[in-house]
């Protein structure tokens, strides 16, 4: 029998029963904090029994503590609808062939407008039903590799993904899109930038910050921009294609080794750090901003080196960090450590002996900076020189996450630490630059009058 209180148990179930409320009904919920209106969403087995979850008209879900509920009324009912209209994706021989490899994340799901149910939208037919513009850009085919939120991506998935990309390129694809959760997209972009070299075609990662049931969703636009970049861009690199400014005028193409998610909820969250983005992209135009990039060339042979040593750690330094943090990594068999140090690349004195013990035990340690912008400079203070004498190697202006994936990749290839150092300090894909351009530092700070005035001119 169809349970109208799907997933609700215990006290929460009793509360819904006492007011004769069904899951998927539109309800008015009176509480000691005021009235809420929305759709009653189902719950999963592992959830508690003291909250009722409501999807508000804004698209946000809220949990309401049953102890605060004073009354509930059903004002409508929308039956769950799990099917997206699926249309055949139109193809034509003139258009470039693009492959979308799916890994999961918000971009891979679509919430049913009426009910709030999460349903996957992934096949070309579903995507065409949802974003018909894609068919004007390319012939699209898809392959679902994983269906995970991006915190669950890791070395195994990087390797599988890199191999799948290599196969697509060998089969003559014109461009690749990778659907990915935004949270760790920059880690995967970094890993792929090392694992896949000399690509003849663009490899474009895309995600969305807001699911497509919300009026402010960036899913469709990001997909259109990423498809345009994969099909038509001249830039044959691993890139991230995401929302540019808050006005949805254009998307930005970021180099895979210089990009980072910088805001937990804004759509304009990805930023190129220490450089300028590679290009802007609109529905019909790609405008390069950068002079130096790997150009599209169909006759080039891709080199895929899909390896990764999992025993590598990224340690974010904080004042009063204790040496046992480093010692425990050594005891647990870690072979490489990247530290995100303070300022120009520092950690406190008590950690020094642990660093000495680690490097003496053959663990290789690289220093990056928490400031994210700028280079590690360990010659400026004695403390930096001391750390280098203990074996820490400065990692130039590699972003901490990028140094982490590069070290995993380098140690996956060799045990020879001199060779690892050579790999680490040789720029491969823009992860180390000669200098950072004056306009590669783009943090606009609100509050200051002149910045507020400037921001008003760009945030329409
Ligand atoms: N938590 C999600 C993820 O990274 C968020 C997103 O897709 O944007 O997979």
Q: Cα 300 to the chain's mean position, in Å?
A: 28
Q: How far is the CA of 233 from the centre of ligand 1 (A)?
A: 26
Instruction: Quote the ligand 1 centre to 161 CA distance (angstroms).
Output: 17
Question: How large is the average pLDDT for residues 272-294?
Answer: 92
Alpha carbon of 407 to ligand 1 centroid (Å): 25
pLDDT at 45: 58
Model confidence at 1: pLDDT above 50? no
For range 166-182, the mean pLDDT: 96
* Residue 326 pLDDT > 60: yes
Alpha carbon of 449 to ligand 1 centroid (Å): 34
Higher-confidence position of 260 and 56: 260
Q: What is the pLDDT of residues 201-234, one digit of tens each?
A: 999 999 988 776 666 778 889 999 999 999 999 9
Q: Is 68 a catalytic residue?
A: no
Cα→Cα distances 341→323, 334, 368, 411, Å? 14, 19, 6, 21
List the beta strands (DSSP E) in 107-206.
Answer: 109-111, 118-120, 139-144, 175-179, 196-197, 203-206
Active-site residue identified among 55, 99, 261, 390:
261
Burial classification of residue 22, based on how many CB atoms lie within 10 Å of its CB (0-12 exposed, 13-18 middle, 19 or more buried): middle
191 pLDDT more than 80: yes
* Mean predicted confidence (pLDDT) in 313-327: 98
Q: Which of 207, 214, 242, 268 to mutate to test the pocket of ligand 1 (most atoms within 8 A of CB)?
A: 207
**Residue at token pair 């029994």:** 49
pLDDT of 119 higher than 90: no
User: Domains, the chain, ranges and CATH?
Assistant: 2-77 (2.30.30.520), 97-304 (3.40.50.1170), 312-425 (3.40.50.40)
**Residue of 104, 106, 146, 205 with the most ligand 1 atoms within 8 Å of its CB, for mutation:** 106
Catalytic residue selected from 15, 55, 99, 106: 106
The confidence band for 445, taking pLDDT boundaries of 50, 70 and 90, is low
Which residue did the predictor score with more confidence, 453 or 11? 11
Query: What is the arithmetic mean of pLDDT over 59-70?
Result: 88
Pocket test for ligand 1, best of 103, 107, 110, 150 (most atoms within 8 A of CB): 150
Of 55-59, 72-76, 397-401, the range with the lowest mean pLDDT is 55-59
Q: Which of 78, 80, 57, 75 is nearest to 20 (CA)?
A: 75
Over range 297-306, report the average pLDDT.
94
117: nearest Cα among 79, 156, 86, 149: 79
Q: What is the mean pLDDT of residues 159-168?
A: 98
Query: From ligand 1's centre to the CA of 223, what distance in Å?
Result: 15
Place of tokens 């909250």: 51
183 is catalytic: yes
Cα separation, 460 vs 453, whole angstroms: 12
Residue 272 has pLDDT above 90, yes or no: yes
* Residue 96 backbone dihedrals phi, psi, to 5 degrees: -65, 150
Confidence (pLDDT) at 214 = 64
Residue among 356, 345, 351, 352 at smallest CA distance from 322: 351
Q: What is the pLDDT of residue 349?
A: 93
Say how far apart CA 374 and CA 139 lie, in whole Å: 41
Ligand 1 center–CA 189 separation, angstroms: 14
Tell me, yes or no, if the pTM score tops 0.85.
no
Phi then psi dihedrals of residue 53, to 5 deg: -105, 130
Residue nearest to atom 6 of ligand 1 (CA): 181
Whether pLDDT at 409 is above 70: yes
Q: Is 261 a catalytic residue?
A: yes
186's CB contacts (< 8 A; 6+ apart) are: 240, 256, 259, 260, 261, 270, 399, 401, 402
Nearest atom in ligand 1 to 185's CA: 4
The predicted model gives 359-384 an average pLDDT of: 93
Residue 272 annotated to the active site: no
Q: What three-state secondary structure class fits 440?
A: helix
Q: Whose CA is nearest to atom 8 of ligand 1?
A: 182
Q: Using CA atoms, how far apart are residues 412 and 448, in angstroms rounded to an integer?
A: 47
Q: What is the pLDDT of residue 333?
A: 98
Residue 446: its pLDDT value, please? 67
Cα-to-centroid distance, 209 and ligand 1 (Å): 7
Angle at 106 between CA 103 and CA 111, to 5 degrees: 125
**Does position 401 have pLDDT exceeding 80, yes or no?**
yes
State the DSSP code for 238: E
Q: pLDDT at position 362, please?
A: 97
Query: Measured from the CA of 107, which atom of ligand 1 is nearest?
Result: 7
**Which of 102, 182, 187, 263 gets mutated to test ligand 1 (max ligand atoms within 8 A of its CB)?**
182
Q: Which residues contact ligand 1 via a Cβ below 6 A? A: 105-106, 149-150, 181-183, 207, 209
| pLDDT of res. 161 | 98
Residue 114 confidence (pLDDT): 43
Give percent above pLDDT 70 in the chain. 90
Q: What is the pLDDT of residue 386?
A: 86
Indicate which atom in ligand 1 lies nearest the CA of residue 208.
8
How far apart are the CA of 448 and the centre of ligand 1, in A?
A: 32
Q: In terms of pLDDT, which residue wins out, 366 or 440?
A: 366
Kind and range of the H or E run holding 40: strand 34-40
User: What is the rounded average pLDDT for all residues in the chain?
Assistant: 89
The pLDDT value recorded for residue 113 is 41
Strands 118-120 and 196-197: unpaired
- Residue with the smallest CA separation from ligand 1 atom 1 is 149
- Which of these is catalytic: 103, 115, 182, 188? 182
Residue 184 CA: nearest ligand 1 atom is 4
Q: Which atom of ligand 1 is nearest to the CA of 183?
A: 4
User: What's the CA-to-centroid distance between 180 and ligand 1, angstroms?
Assistant: 7
Q: Kindly state the average pLDDT of the residues 358-387.
A: 92
The residue whose C-alpha atom lies closest to atom 3 belonging to ligand 1 is: 181
């Amino acid at each position: 029998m169809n349970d109208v209180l799907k997933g609700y148990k215990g006290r929460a179930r009793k509360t819904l029963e006492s007011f004769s409320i069904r899951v998927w009904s539109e309800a008015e919920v009176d509480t000691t904090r005021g009235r809420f209106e929305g759709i009653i969403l189902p719950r999963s087995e592992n959830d508690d029994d003291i909250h009722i979850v409501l999807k508000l008209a804004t698209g946000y879900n809220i949990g309401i503590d049953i102890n605060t509920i004073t009354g509930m009324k059903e004002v409508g009912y929308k039956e769950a609808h799990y099917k997206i209209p699926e249309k055949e994706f139109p193809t034509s021989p003139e258009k470039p062939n693009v492959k979308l490899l799916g890994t999961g994340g918000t971009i891979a799901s679509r919430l049913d407008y009426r009910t709030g149910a999460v349903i996957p939208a992934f096949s070309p037919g579903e995507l065409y039903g949802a974003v018909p513009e894609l068919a004007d850009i390319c012939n699209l085919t898809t392959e679902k590799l994983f269906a995970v939120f991006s915190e669950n991506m890791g070395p195994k998935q990087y390797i599988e993904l890199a191999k799948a990309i290599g196969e697509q390129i060998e089969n003559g694809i014109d461009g690749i899109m990778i659907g990915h959760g935004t949270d760790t997209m920059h880690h995967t972009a970094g890993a792929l930038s090392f694992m896949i070299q000399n690509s003849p075609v663009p490899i474009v990662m895309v995600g969305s910050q807001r699911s497509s049931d919300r009026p402010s969703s960036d899913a469709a636009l990001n997909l259109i921009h990423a498809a345009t970049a994969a099909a038509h861009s001249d830039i044959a690199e691993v890139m991230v294609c995401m929302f540019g400014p808050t006005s949805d005028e254009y998307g930005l193409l970021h180099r895979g080794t210089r990009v980072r998610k910088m805001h937990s909820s804004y759509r304009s969250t990805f930023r190129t750090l220490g450089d300028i983005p590679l290009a802007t992209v609109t529905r019909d135009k790609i405008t390069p901003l950068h002079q130096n990039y790997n150009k599209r060339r169909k006759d080039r042979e891709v080199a895929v080196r899909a390896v990764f040593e999992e025993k590598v750690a990224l340690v974010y330094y904080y004042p009063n960090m204790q040496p046992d943090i480093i010692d425990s990594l050594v005891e647990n068999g870690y072979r490489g450590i990247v530290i995100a140090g303070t300022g120009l690349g520092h950690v406190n004195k008590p950690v020094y002996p642990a660093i000495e013990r680690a490097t003496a035990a053959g663990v290789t340690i690289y220093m990056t900076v928490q400031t994210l912008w700028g280079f590690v400079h360990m010659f400026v203070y004695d403390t930096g020189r001391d750390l280098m004498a203990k074996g820490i190697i400065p990692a130039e202006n590699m972003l901490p996450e990028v140094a982490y994936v590069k070290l995993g990749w380098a140690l996956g290839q060799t045990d020879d630490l001199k060779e690892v150092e050579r790999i680490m300090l040789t720029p491969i894909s823009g992860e180390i630059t000669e200098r950072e351009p004056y306009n590669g530092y783009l943090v606009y700070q609100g509050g200051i009058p002149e910045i507020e005035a400037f921001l008003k001119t760009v945030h329409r």
